[in-house]
C-alpha cells in the first residue's frame, strides 16, 4: 500500500516517458474495413509502450485527484480523460455505427465480422493515453468485450491509467458469466501496475466550508419552501423562463418537467424511477450545470434498481461538476438501508428461470444479492458530501468560465 507522495512520484516518472510517447499513425483510408482490421493489429514488435497504472482504494482517498494532476501535466496532446461509463457508451456507439456501415449480407452467405479491433484502432489514433475515472464493470455487455477491446488497445500502444474502488481481482465480482470475464483481469494486470491507495480516511468528509444548505429533509418545517425559493433565486440569473424540456438521447426522448436555462428542477421519480441510464444522465449533465433532486425516498435493497440509478446519476454529475440541491426523506448517511432483500423474490425467481440458473447460483450473483449497490452507495454518499462544499459549487459554475 502506497502513500500519496509515493504515488505522485511514481506518476511523475511515468509522465517523463509519456511526454515522448509516439505511436505510428496510419493515414486515413477509404479502403474496405478488412484493411482496417489488419491495421488494428498494432505496432511493430520492436515498439514497447510503458505500463500504465490501476489505482484502487476506498472512497475519498484522493485517487481521482492524483490522476487529474497527472493528466494535467502530460504535454502530449493525444490524451483523453473520461469516466469509464462514458467511455463504454462511446465504444458501443462506435461498434453500432461500424456495423451499420457494413455492406448488406448477400442471401445464403454468412460473413463473420468483428468490429472491436477496428474500433480499438480508431481510438488509438485519437489518444495514446487513456485516463479512466471510476473503472467498474457491472454490465454483462461491457464485461464480454473488455478483454478483446483492451488487448487491441494495448497492442496499438495505448497507455491506461485508471482509478477504481475495487482491486482488479474483484472487478465484476459475482457477475453473470464471470468466468468469461476473468481473462481480462490478467490482461489488465499485465499492462498496468496495480497501486493500492488507501489512507483509511475519506477526505471528502473533512471539514470544508459549505456552499450553504443544499441538502434538505422533507420532514423539516419549511424545507420545500426553501428549495422553491432557491430555485427561483437561481432561475433569475438565467436568460430563460421556467418550462418543460425534452432531451434527445440515442433517438429517445427524455422529458424533464421543470427547467430554466441551465437549471433543472427534477423529482427522484423523474430521474431514477424511470428506466434511464448513464447516457441519459450524461446528456442531462451536458445541458444543465445545476440539478434539483426532490423527494428522494429512503432507499433499500428492495429498491436496488432505483439505488443503482441514483449512484450512476451522481457518478456522472460529479465527474461533470454538476451542482445538486437535494430534498430527501432521510439524512445522507441514512439514505440507504442495508436490510434484507424482500419483496422481489418472484421477480428474481423468474429471472433465474430465464437465465437457466439454480437458486444456489443466484444467491451468489450480485444481480440478486444487492452487493454491488451496497458497495457503490458508499461512493455516492462520499461524493454527495463533497458536492455540498463551497469549493465544488464554485467549480460547477459554468457561467464564471465563459
Q: What is the pLDDT of residues 64-96, one digit of tens each?
A: 889 999 999 998 899 999 999 889 989 999 998
351 contacts 156 by C-beta, under 8 angstroms: no
- Quickly state the pLDDT bin for 304 (edges 50, 70, 90): confident
Nearest Cα neighbor of 119 from 156, 94, 88 is: 94
Between 8 and 361, residue with greater pLDDT: 8
Cell numbers of 235, please? 432561475
pLDDT of residue 141: 87
Residue recorded with cell 441551465: 262
Q: CA 340, CA 12: separation in Å to the nearest integer? A: 46
Q: CA 166, CA 82: separation in Å to the nearest integer? A: 18
Q: Is 165 left (phi over 0), alpha (psi -120 to 50) or beta?
A: alpha
Helices (H), 111-145: 116-126, 140-143
Return the biggest CA–CA distance within the chain.
Answer: 71
- C-alpha distances in Å from residue 2, one per residue of 57, 163, 216, 298: 10, 14, 38, 37
pLDDT of residue 355: 47
Cell numbers of 48, please? 514497447
Mean pLDDT, the chain, whole residue set? 82
Average pLDDT over residues 337-355: 54
pLDDT of residue 344: 52
Q: CA 45, CA 24: separation in Å to the nearest integer? A: 12
Cell numbers of 132, please? 479512466
- Quickly state the pLDDT bin for 318 (edges 50, 70, 90): very high
Q: Lowest mean pLDDT: which of 105-119, 199-213, 370-384?
A: 105-119
Average pLDDT over residues 212-216: 94
Please check the confidence at residue 386 and state whether its pLDDT lies above 60.
yes
- Quickly state the pLDDT bin for 365 (edges 50, 70, 90): very low
Please check the confidence at residue 401 and state whether its pLDDT lies above 80.
no
- Quickly state the pLDDT bin for 56 (edges 50, 70, 90): very high
Q: CA 399, CA 323: separation in Å to the nearest integer? A: 13
- DSSP-derived 3-state class of residue 27: coil
Q: CA 131, CA 164: separation in Å to the nearest integer? A: 12
pLDDT of residue 88: 93
pLDDT of residue 246: 97
Average pLDDT over residues 294-307: 91
Parallel, antiparallel, or unpaired: how do β-strands 215-217 and 323-328 relate?
A: parallel
Cell numbers of 247, please? 432531451
Radius of gyration of the chain (CA): 23
Q: Which of 81-85, 196-200, 221-225 has the highest mean pLDDT?
A: 221-225
Q: Lowest mean pLDDT: which of 169-178, 219-228, 393-402?
A: 393-402
Q: Which residues contact 293 (CB under 8 A, 6 or more apart)?
A: 266, 267, 268, 271, 324, 325, 326, 327
Q: Lowest mean pLDDT: which of 125-134, 197-206, 308-317, 358-367?
A: 358-367
Amino acid at each position: 500500500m502506497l502513500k500519496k507522495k509515493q504515488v505522485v512520484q511514481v506518476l511523475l516518472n511515468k509522465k517523463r516517458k509519456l511526454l515522448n510517447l509516439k505511436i505510428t499513425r496510419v493515414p486515413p483510408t477509404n479502403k474496405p474495413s478488412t484493411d482496417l482490421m489488419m491495421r488494428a493489429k498494432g505496432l511493430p514488435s520492436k515498439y514497447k509502450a510503458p505500463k500504465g497504472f490501476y489505482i484502487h482504494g476506498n472512497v475519498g482517498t484522493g485517487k481521482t485527484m492524483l490522476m487529474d494532476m497527472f493528466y494535467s501535466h502530460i504535454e502530449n496532446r493525444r490524451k483523453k480523460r473520461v469516466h469509464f461509463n462514458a467511455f463504454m457508451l462511446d465504444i458501443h456507439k462506435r461498434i453500432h455505427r461500424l456495423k451499420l456501415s457494413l455492406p448488406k449480407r448477400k442471401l445464403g452467405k454468412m460473413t463473420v465480422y468483428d468490429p472491436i479491433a477496428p474500433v480499438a484502432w480508431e481510438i488509438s489514433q485519437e489518444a495514446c493515453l487513456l485516463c479512466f475515472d471510476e473503472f467498474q464493470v457491472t454490465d454483462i455487455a461491457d464485461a464480454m468485450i473488455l478483454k478483446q477491446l483492451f488487448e487491441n488497445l494495448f497492442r496499438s500502444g495505448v497507455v491506461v491509467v485508471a482509478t477504481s474502488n475495487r482491486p482488479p481481482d474483484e472487478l465484476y465480482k459475482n457477475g453473470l458469466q464471470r468466468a468469461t470475464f476473468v481473462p481480462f483481469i490478467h490482461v489488465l494486470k499485465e499492462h498496468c501496475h496495480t497501486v493500492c491507495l488507501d489512507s483509511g480516511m475519506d477526505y471528502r468528509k473533512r471539514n470544508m466550508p459549505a456552499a450553504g444548505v443544499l441538502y434538505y429533509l422533507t420532514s423539516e418545517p419549511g424545507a420545500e419552501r426553501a428549495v422553491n425559493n432557491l430555485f427561483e433565486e437561481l432561475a433569475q440569473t438565467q436568460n430563460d423562463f421556467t418550462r418543460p424540456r425534452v432531451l434527445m438521447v440515442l433517438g429517445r426522448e427524455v422529458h424533464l418537467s421543470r427547467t430554466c436555462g441551465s437549471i433543472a428542477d427534477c423529482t427522484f421519480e423523474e430521474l431514477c424511477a424511470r428506466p434511464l441510464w448513464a447516457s441519459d444522465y450524461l446528456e442531462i449533465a451536458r445541458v444543465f450545470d445545476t440539478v434539483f433532486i426532490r423527494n428522494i425516498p429512503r432507499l433499500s435493497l428492495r429498491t436496488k434498481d432505483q439505488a443503482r440509478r441514483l449512484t450512476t446519476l451522481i457518478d456522472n454529475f460529479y465527474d461533470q461538476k454538476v451542482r445538486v440541491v437535494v430534498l430527501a426523506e432521510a439524512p445522507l448517511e441514512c439514505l440507504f438501508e442495508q436490510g434484507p432483500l424482500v419483496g422481489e423474490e418472484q421477480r428474481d425467481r423468474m429471472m433465474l428461470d430465464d437465465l437457466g440458473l439454480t437458486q444456489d447460483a443466484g444467491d451468489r450473483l450480485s444481480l440478486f444479492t444487492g452487493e454491488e449497490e451496497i458497495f457503490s452507495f458508499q461512493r455516492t454518499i462520499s461524493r454527495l458530501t463533497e458536492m455540498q462544499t463551497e469549493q465544488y459549487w464554485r467549480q460547477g459554475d459554468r457561467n464564471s468560465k465563459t
